[in-house]
């Protein structure tokens, strides 16, 4: 089916976002900081202010992610690294989010050292425009997948939040079972220890240097980009060549923790869950493997917390390019409860983590199914 082509600027008012100071954002949503702030990589924080009441398609316009497309939540702020596409009339915003998602913007990207998309270059780009009714049918079909994915994502967030709340209750507020009968000395319960992450790690390793490739030529190579989202999408993690010796040294296993040591997301961390195929970690990550003194689920929740991110940001170096070496990342102090209490905590939260892993796998399957449909619907080959 042949559709008309129109310039993006015929359908949308294109507006570059507005810079928001770091001190005007927080990492996690609160009752005060309600509104999502979108940067080139999606949501980068939450603010007291918002710009657009309706969901809005965005096109990233600066840096390595130039041309990446996002679809905002209602009531969102758009940063200066994205261009907002505001409808001029009768179009289905959802359809054009998918249309942009499929489009290649390489023809409007300029700049070698710092890729960018300008309003001038983007405005005349041609896109296919089906009748409004067809837009709605296609958007309904694809949105059904995204609604299921979003529902699973909310369930994942609830499972993770329940584990975090229990962690805070027991190990931050120290209201653990039997706390009424335990004496505190300098804020440390009797029988507990305060140690650095280095003190409870059998290994602290810098990552593997190799070129990432789409072709399956070796193990997966986990990068900073892969650990920033809520979920590691292993299907999108590339491969790299690695010798048997390198694989033995850098291979990840369940329970390992990896932490970003440089860039805007310095201090972001992930505990590695179940892995279906061999994987190593890239050079800008640091891997921690805890001793038996610290349960990896407890340690994982600690390093994924906003408190740990704040510790890293406050202790890292570099103004233009924040960076933290392994010594800084390993210097954070953590309370180590008795083994029996750690086991009790794990018995409570482990089923939630297993359920989370199942939901994550479901989301990956739904995403793959949607992405197979997307080009056929958008080309008119398949009629919704």
Residue 23, C-beta contacts closer than 8 angstroms, at least 6 positions apart: none
Structure confidence at residue 1 (pLDDT): 64
Query: Two tokens at 197?
Result: 């992450």
CATH at 212: 3.90.220.20
Q: Which of 333, 338, 314 is nearest to 324 (CA)?
A: 314
Say how many C-beta atoms besides its own lie within 10 A of residue 58's C-beta.
Answer: 26
CATH at 175: 1.10.287
Q: Are residues 29 and 123 in the same domain?
A: yes
pLDDT tens profile 55-108: 999 999 988 789 989 999 999 999 999 999 999 988 999 999 999 988 889 999
Mean pLDDT of all residues belonging to the chain: 92
Q: Are residues 139 and 214 in the same domain?
A: no
pLDDT tens profile 204-237: 999 999 989 888 999 999 999 889 877 787 877 9
pLDDT tens profile 247-261: 999 999 999 999 999
Mean pLDDT across 331-344: 97
Work out how many domains the chain is built from and give that number: 3
Q: How far is 169 from 157, CA to CA, in rounded Å? A: 18
Indicate the DSSP class of residue 213: B
Q: Is residue 29 part of a domain?
A: yes
**pTM of the full structure:** 0.76
Classified as helix, coil or strand, 279 is: strand
Indicate the DSSP class of residue 251: B
Q: Are residues 354 and 264 in the same domain?
A: no
- Residue the block writes with tokens 């039997």: 178
Range of the domain at 362: 130-180+339-384
Q: What is the β-pairing status of strands 35-39 and 77-78?
A: parallel
Long-range contacts of 347-353 (CB under 8 A, 24+ apart): 348/166, 349/162, 349/163, 349/166, 349/167, 349/297, 349/301, 350/297, 352/159, 352/160, 352/162, 352/163, 353/159, 353/163, 353/273, 353/297
Q: Are residues 143 and 217 in the same domain?
A: no
Q: Which of 1, 43, 38, 44 is nearest to 16 (CA)?
A: 38
Q: Are residues 290 and 237 in the same domain?
A: yes
Classified as helix, coil or strand, 223 is: coil
Q: Which of 376, 264, 275, 259 is nearest to 329 (CA)?
A: 259
Q: Are residues 100 and 115 in the same domain?
A: yes
Query: Two tokens at 11?
Result: 């359908």
């Amino acid at each position: 089916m042949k559709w008309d082509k129109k310039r993006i600027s015929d359908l949308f008012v294109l507006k570059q976002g507005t810079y928001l100071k770091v001190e005007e954002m927080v990492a996690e949503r609160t009752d005060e900081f309600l509104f999502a702030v979108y940067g080139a990589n999606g949501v980068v924080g939450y603010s007291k202010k918002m710009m657009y009441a309706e969901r809005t398609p965005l096109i990233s316009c600066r840096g390595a992610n130039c041309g990446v497309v996002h679809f905002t939540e209602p009531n969102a702020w758009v940063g200066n690294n994205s261009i907002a596409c505001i409808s001029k009339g009768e179009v289905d915003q959802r359809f054009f989010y998918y249309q942009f998602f499929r489009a290649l913007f390489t023809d409007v990207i300029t700049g070698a050292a710092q890729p960018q998309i300008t309003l001038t270059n983007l405005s005349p780009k041609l896109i296919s425009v089906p009748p409004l009714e067809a837009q709605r049918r296609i958007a309904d079909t694809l949105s059904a997948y995204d609604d299921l994915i979003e529902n699973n994502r909310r369930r994942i967030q609830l499972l993770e939040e329940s584990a975090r709340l229990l962690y805070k209750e027991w190990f931050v507020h120290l209201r653990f079972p039997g706390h009424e009968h335990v004496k505190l000395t300098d804020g440390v319960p009797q029988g507990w220890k305060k140690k650095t992450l280095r003190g409870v790690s059998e290994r602290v390793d810098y990552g593997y240097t190799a070129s990432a490739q789409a072709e399956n030529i070796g193990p997966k190579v986990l990068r900073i980009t892969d650990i920033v989202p809520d979920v590691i999408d292993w299907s999108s993690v590339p491969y790299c060549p690695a010798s048997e010796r390198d694989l033995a040294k850098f291979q990840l296993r369940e329970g390992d923790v990896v932490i970003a040591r440089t860039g805007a997301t310095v201090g972001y961390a992930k505990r590695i869950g179940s892995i279906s195929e061999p994987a190593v970690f890239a050079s800008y990550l640091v891997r921690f493997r805890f001793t038996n003194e610290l349960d990896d689920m407890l340690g994982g929740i600690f390093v994924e917390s906003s408190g740990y991110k704040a510790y890293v940001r406050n202790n890292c170096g570099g103004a233009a390019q924040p960076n933290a070496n392994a010594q800084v990342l390993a210097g954070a102090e953590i309370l180590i409860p008795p083994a029996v209490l750690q086991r009790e905590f794990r018995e409570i939260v482990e089923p939630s983590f297993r359920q989370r892993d199942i939901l994550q796998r479901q989301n990956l399957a739904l995403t793959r199914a949607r992405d197979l449909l997307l080009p056929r619907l958008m080309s008119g080959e398949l009629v919704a």
